[in-house]
Amino acid sequence: MHMQETVLKVDNLHVNFYTNQRCNKALRGISFELKKGRTLCMVGESGCGKSVTANAIMQLLPDLSRIEEGSITYWKEGEKISLGELKKNGPEIRALRGEEIAMIFQDPMTALNPVFSVGFQMNEMLMNHSSMSKKEATKKSISLLTDMGVPAPEQRVFEYPHQYSGGMRQRAMIAMAMACEPKVLIADEPTTALDVTIQAQIFELMNTLKREKDMAMMLITHDMGVVAEMADDVAVMYMGLIIESGTATQVLGNPTHPYTSALLESIPMLGKGKNQKLEPIKGTTPDPYNRPPGCQFAPRCKHADEKCHTHMPPEFFTKEAHMVRCFKYEELNHER
């Protein structure tokens, strides 16, 4: 197996939110790696902490929050940079943003500034990280738009976001994110706001880019169908913790954690036919301010026992580096 080069490593990351005079422990110790040329899908329900993770990597957490513990490390041409220690919005992290690590957001309509043309916003990215002139940047923007499949780019580059269609807007966002050829692309639910047919196109585009540029991609989604399509590696999140991770084959083919299995059983998957048996997951996600003491999924888990309710399971690893945060992992894992 060819050596997978890690470009970004998150280790035991804890993030707390301090809004409404309360303390919400949004991330409780997550660890994962992003590797060159591979897509990691972070999947989980709303509120599990997927977006928080992405924001933490980019150091874009809101004012009333902070990293409590853990590290985020980025390898830039062999040099190790600890992202968590960089000055907030300081020159170092800004040099990385856009040029090494780029991000695209869920709703391109609100993510793009309505009063500036798309070209202006793309030029900003280019001119910020290089010494291009406005003319050169515009030329490059036009070619980027062409690459992303936006028709009539010479005109479009001067138009405003509201004049684009939804799919085109997302392509423009991707064009903007890719402008400086980043090594890592973080995509936070990039197609949730789009039609399913457009979704397929966007993903195809992203895959092509990943292959061509040997880029590491982190794709955040709540849709297991997307995971099945796009993932090389998978990390399943629940209540601020990664409860299962591994390659796509491992996690999807051999779901070990009860939550992962439950997720796969509760949603229809395109292609599996109409006689799929759907089982909704019993119970609801706990109140973040009122968490169960042990495993967060225990109250809803049919395999849970005394130990599960009182102790937080650590990360267990199978022989194949398939991580499961469950005391029962050995029984539940059917690996060959």
The distance of closest approach from Cβ of residue 180 to other proteins in the complex, given in angstroms and rounded to an integer, is 9
| Pure H helices in the chain | 50-57, 91-96, 108-111, 118-129, 134-147, 153-156, 166-178, 196-213, 224-230, 248-253, 258-266, 306-310, 329-332
Q: In what order do the strands lie in the sheet with 184-188?
A: 101-104, 184-188, 216-221, 39-43, 233-238, 241-247, 323-324, 316-317
The distance of closest approach from Cβ of residue 207 to other proteins in the complex, given in angstroms and rounded to an integer, is 22
| Interatomic CA distance for residues 74 and 35, integer angstroms | 11
The distance of closest approach from Cβ of residue 126 to other proteins in the complex, given in angstroms and rounded to an integer, is 10
**Cβ distance to other proteins smaller for residue 105 or 297:** 105
The distance of closest approach from Cβ of residue 109 to other proteins in the complex, given in angstroms and rounded to an integer, is 9
Tokens representing residue 38 in the block = 């591979």
Q: One-letter amino acid identity for 172?
A: A
The distance of closest approach from Cβ of residue 64 to other proteins in the complex, given in angstroms and rounded to an integer, is 8
Query: Where on the chain is the footprint of other proteins (CB under 8 A)?
Result: 16, 18-23, 58, 60, 63-64, 66, 68, 89, 93-99, 102-103, 105, 107, 110-116, 124-125, 128-129, 160, 162, 176, 289
**Cβ distance to other proteins smaller for residue 123 or 199:** 123
**Cβ distance to other proteins smaller for residue 110 or 276:** 110
**Cβ distance to other proteins smaller for residue 282 or 291:** 291
313 to 12, 158, 202, 308: CA distances (angstroms): 14, 54, 38, 7
**Cβ distance to other proteins smaller for residue 58 or 144:** 58
Strand partners, 75: 80
The distance of closest approach from Cβ of residue 238 to other proteins in the complex, given in angstroms and rounded to an integer, is 21
**Cβ distance to other proteins smaller for residue 161 or 258:** 161
| List of residues 6+ apart from 328 with CB closer than 8 A | 258, 303, 308
